[in-house]
Structure 1
Amino acid sequence: MDAKTLEKIGLTKNEAIVYLTLVKSGTLKTAKILKKSGLNSGRIYNTMESLKHKGMVSESSINNVKHFTSSPPDQLKNYFELRLSQLKKEEIVINKAIPELNKIRNITISEPRSVVYTGYRGLKTAVEEAFEMVGDGEEILAMGVTSLKNKRINNFWVNWTPKRIRKKIIAKHLFSEKSSFYKKFKKMAYTEARILESFTPVTVDVFGSKAVLIMNYKEPISCTLICDENTATSFKNFFYQMWKTAK
């Protein structure tokens, strides 16, 4: 086992190194811990105090010298359960805070703006933010949709779409080619799909009347979110011009 395994349950890197050192070596005084672990002497005091607080080590005095011993490994489970309990309490606080934070945020971002997100997680964040701006009775219009992109992104859209369907929001897709990806969307509820054969290096989605997403799926993935009614209206008009000629 290495220290990274213990880090996954909530120990810091230094705590994990010290705990493993004590598990392997038994009872040690501070100087021996430093030598065997390779840690900086300036950090060892805080690390030992933190491990004691978490119940991961015990302290004893031998000939008036402090020695430390690792707690039984079962204590790891006890610590994890305690941490999980604390996280559940924090979740309640977070859930109460989110509505208030959203009110403040909505006031500060009401002006036209654009934000660039990068990476797969950035794409997901941009989509969720744009989706929050879709009002009742509004649509999502997507143009330049293609299956010729990263499979992970195709799967993201397939898995995300039920969220839109549950809210009964209609989406219209202009696909660049006929494919199994197109056929899959064609069968979905609250979904319309047509084909307009062309090559488009980016995909443009209009979310309702206020948000536009311009997505570049080639590495490095990037997504530009534009929050502006005039921009959304322009892209919406452009979409419907192409929609009329698509099959």
Structure 2
Amino acid sequence: MISELIQYGLSDKEANVYLTCIKIGQATANRIAELSNLARSTTYDVLDKLKTLGLISTYVKDNKIQFVANSPDILITSLTERKNAIEKIIPNLKEMYQKLEDKPYTEVFQGKIAIVKIFDEILNNAKELKVIGSQGNALEKIGYHPEKFRLKRIKNKIQIKQILEVSKESKEIKNDEYTEVRFLKSLNKSKEGMFIFDDYVYHIIFQYEISAIKIKSKDHVNAMNIMFDELWHKASSK
């Protein structure tokens, strides 16, 4: 029962003393300290805390202060009161949290392993994707993973609009139920890819050691979507 009381929110000493009080009914602080294997000064501090929590009461008998446990029902009452108090401030907390969520932030990743994890993160969260990049660069830097990405994306039913360089590798990607691909010759010399979804933009840099910049920003996403749509209209479907 001590572990459950600790989970409820009591410290191990508070749980120990409260259980002792329930077992013996009423007792002096000295007796409770003895049965709880605690120092008397510590026991007094714990009893004061339990009294504040409403879990014990005191009365005087033969000029000595007696401590007695209150009904365990007070635990439920206390939880209900705490729940009601928290529910009142939840709207304000959510408003504060939303402001924090809306605040832009940036993360930087380096190395193949980190990039593969980013791709998994995208696959686990995106519903629709816009991608600009080089299939040739991706195959060169991360090997077989682009094909694994494609298969898992289709399995997850993630729609993608993809603008790729004009190359043998990119031409192997075909349109299907979940894929629209177009080609832009000006991307042939590009060493960067970009993934756009929801409030996120991932810039993948294929030069030197592969790296990525993850940006969470509605304004940046809006700007990148405008750029993507312009390029999409210029790109060829063949």
1:241 aligned partner: 230
When residues 144 and 152 of structure 1 are mapped into structure 2, their CA distance, relative to the original with a 3 A threshold, is closer
User: Are the equivalent residues in 2 in contact too, given 1:116–1:222 (CA < 8 A)?
Assistant: yes
Could you say what secondary structure the match of 1:194 adopts?
Answer: strand
Q: Is the 8 A contact 2:107 2:215 kept in 1?
A: yes
The CA distance in 1 between the partners of 2:184 and 2:219, in whole Å, is 25
1-side partners of 2:165 and 2:171: how far apart? 13
Q: Which of 203, 212, 229 is equivalent to 2:193?
A: 203
User: What's the offset of the Cα at 1:146?
Assistant: 3.4
Q: Does 1:184 align with 2:179?
A: no
**Residue 113 (str. 1) matches residue 105 (str. 2):** yes
Q: Letter of the aligned partner of 1:117 in structure 2?
A: F
Q: Distance in 1 between matches of 2:191 and 2:183?
A: 16
| 1:169 matched residue in structure 2 | 158
Q: For the residues of structure 2 that align with 1:119 and 1:213, how far apart are their CA atoms?
A: 15
Tell me, what secondary structure is at the counterpart of 2:132? strand
Distance change >3 Å, CA 115–CA 241, structure 1 → 2:
same
1:128 maps to 2:120: yes
Query: Secondary structure of 1:168's match?
Result: coil
Tell me, in whole angstroms, the C-alpha distance in 2 between the residues paired with 1:150 and 1:218: 13
Distance of aligned partners of 1:177 and 1:154 in 2 relative to their CA distance in 1, 3 Å threshold: farther
Deviation for aligned residue 1:108: 11
How many Å separate the matches in 2 of 1:130 and 1:150? 18
Three-state SS of the structure 1 residue aligned to 2:166 is coil
Distance in 2 of aligned mates of 1:188 and 1:155: 20
Say if 1:122 and 1:192 are closer, same or farther in 2 by CA, change over 3 A. same
Q: Tell me, what secondary structure is at the counterpart of 2:147?
A: helix
Which sits farther off after the overlay, 161-170 or 236-245? 161-170
- Could you tell me which amino acid in structure 2 is paired with residue 174 of structure 1? I
- Shift in CA distance, 192/154, structure 1 to aligned 2, threshold 3 Å: farther
- Three-state SS of the structure 1 residue aligned to 2:173 is helix
Q: What stretches of structure 1 of length at least 5 have no aligned partner?
A: 1-105
**Aligned 8 A contact 1:117 1:222 in 2:** yes
Give TM-score scaled by structure 1 length. 0.50
> RMSD of the alignment, in Å?
2.4
Q: How does 1:149-160 map to 2 (within 5 A)?
A: 149-151=138-140, 153-160=142-149
Following the alignment from structure 1 to structure 2, what is the Cα–Cα distance between the partners of residues 131 and 226? 17
Alpha-carbon separation, structure 1, partners of 2:159 and 2:175: 13
- Structure 2, unmatched stretches of 5+, are 1-96
1:154-204 deviations in Å (ceiling 9; x for gaps): 52111111221122211111111131x223321554111111111222111
Whether the 8 Å CA contact 1:172–1:192 is kept in 2: the answer is yes
Secondary structure of 2:126's counterpart equals coil
Question: What percentage of residue pairs aligned between the two structures are identical?
Answer: 20
CA contact (8 A) 1:144 1:200 kept: yes
Task: Tell me if the contact between 2:175 and 2:181 (Cα under 8 Å) persists in the aligned partners.
Answer: no
Conserved in 2, the CA contact under 8 Å of 1:203 and 1:215?
yes
Q: In structure 1, the residue corresponding to 2:185 is in which secondary structure?
A: coil
